[in-house]
Amino acid sequence: MRLAKFLAHAGVASRRGAEEIIRAGRVSIAGTTVIDPARDVDVDSGVAVDGRFLEGPEERMVFLLNKPSGVLSTAADAYGRRTVVDLVPARGARLYPVGRLDADSTGLILVTNDGDLAQRLTHPSFEVPRTYRAVVHPVPVGERALRSLREGVELEDGRTAPAKARQLKPGVLELTIHEGRNHQVKRMCEAVGHRVRTLQRIRFGPLRLDDLAEGAHRQLRAAEVETLRRSPSG
Ligand code: URA
C-alpha cells in the first residue's frame, strides 16, 4: 500500500495531510527518513511518524457532535483553547474534524479518524448539502433578499451557487448551500443587507442534528456511515 494511504488508514491524517507530513521529513521506514508518499509499505515495514511506530489500521469511527459556541473546529490549538476533538472520547484514536464551523457558530460537525471519508466529504466536487439556521438583523428579510440568496450572490471570491433559502419566522433564515467557502453564510447574508447574529448548522448531507444537546456527541452507526459515503443527498 502507498505510504500516504497507510498513514491515512492508521488515522494519522487525511491522505493529503499525510503527504505533507511525509514531505516534511517526519516519516521513517525501518529507521530511515522517507519523503516519497508513494513508497510501498505494509504493517511489517516499521513505519514511524516523529519516531513513533504505527501499528497499522485503526478502527474507523465517525462521531456527530453538536458544537457549542467558542469551541474551535481544529484538531489541536497552539494556545490550548478547546477544540471539537476535546469533546469526543478518542479511545486512543487520532481524531480530526470534517470541515469547519466558525468559532462562534454552533451545531452539527463530524469528527473522525477516517481520512478518506473526511477528504471526500470536504472536497468541493462532492457538493455535500449543508443546512444552516441563521438569526439575522435587521428583521424581517424581504422577498428581494431571499430571491438573491436563491439565485446566488456576488462575493469577493466569486458568485455563489444558488442556495435554498426560506424565512422560518421574521429574521430567522434556513439556508442550504453546497459549497464550503470561508464564512460563506455570513458573507451571503451580509451581501443581501443582513448581519448574522447566530448561526447553527442543522444538517450535513443525510445527517441531522435533531435534539442532540449542545456539547454532546454520538457515534454514527455503520449504516449511517455508508449513507454518508454515498453523499451528496438532500
Ligand atoms: N458559514 C459561515 O459563515 N460560518 C460557518 O461557521 C459556516 C458556514
pLDDT digit string, tens, across residues 84-112: 999 998 877 889 899 999 999 999 999 99
Q: Domain segments of the chain: what residues?
A: 3-53, 62-113+210-230, 129-204
Average pLDDT over residues 132-155: 98
Output the pLDDT for position 114.
87
Radius of gyration of the chain (CA): 20
Average pLDDT over residues 193-219: 97
Output the pLDDT for position 123.
83
Please say if the pLDDT value at position 155 is more than 60: yes
Q: Supply 182's cell numbers.
A: 470561508
How far apart, in whole angstroms, are the C-alpha atoms of residue 186 and residue 43?
46
As for ligand 1, residues whose beta carbon falls within 6 Å of it are 101-102, 105, 183-186, 199
pLDDT digit string, tens, across residues 5-17: 999 888 788 888 8
Nearest CA owner, ligand 1 atom 2: 183
Q: Is there a common fold for 3-53 and 129-204?
A: no
Q: Which of 150, 155, 206, 151 is nearest to 175 (CA)?
A: 150
Please say if the pLDDT value at position 28 is more than 60: yes
How far away, in angstroms, is 181 Cα from ligand 1 center?
8
Beta sheet of 47-49, edge-to-edge order: 32-33, 27-29, 47-49, 52-53
Average pLDDT over residues 146-152: 98
Residue 9's contacts (CB-CB under 8 Å, 6 or more residues apart) are: 1, 56, 57, 58, 115
pLDDT digit string, tens, across residues 156-195: 999 999 999 999 999 999 999 999 899 999 999 999 999 9
Give the position, in ligand 1's atom list, of the atom nearest the Cα of 130: 8
pLDDT band at 234 (very low <50, low <70, confident <90, very high): very low
Nearest CA owner, ligand 1 atom 3: 183
Q: What is the CATH number of domain 62-113+210-230?
A: 3.30.70.580
How far apart, in whole angstroms, are the C-alpha atoms of residue 176 and residue 52?
43
- In the CATH scheme, what is the homologous superfamily, with its name and number, of domain 129-204? Alpha-L RNA-binding motif (3.30.70.1560)
What CATH architecture does domain 3-53 belong to?
A: Roll (3.10)
How far apart, in whole angstroms, are the C-alpha atoms of residue 113 and residue 61?
6
pLDDT digit string, tens, across residues 124-142: 788 899 999 999 999 999 9
CA atoms within 13 A on the CB side of 77: 15
Average pLDDT over residues 75-81: 87
How far apart, in whole angstroms, are the C-alpha atoms of residue 137 and residue 156?
22
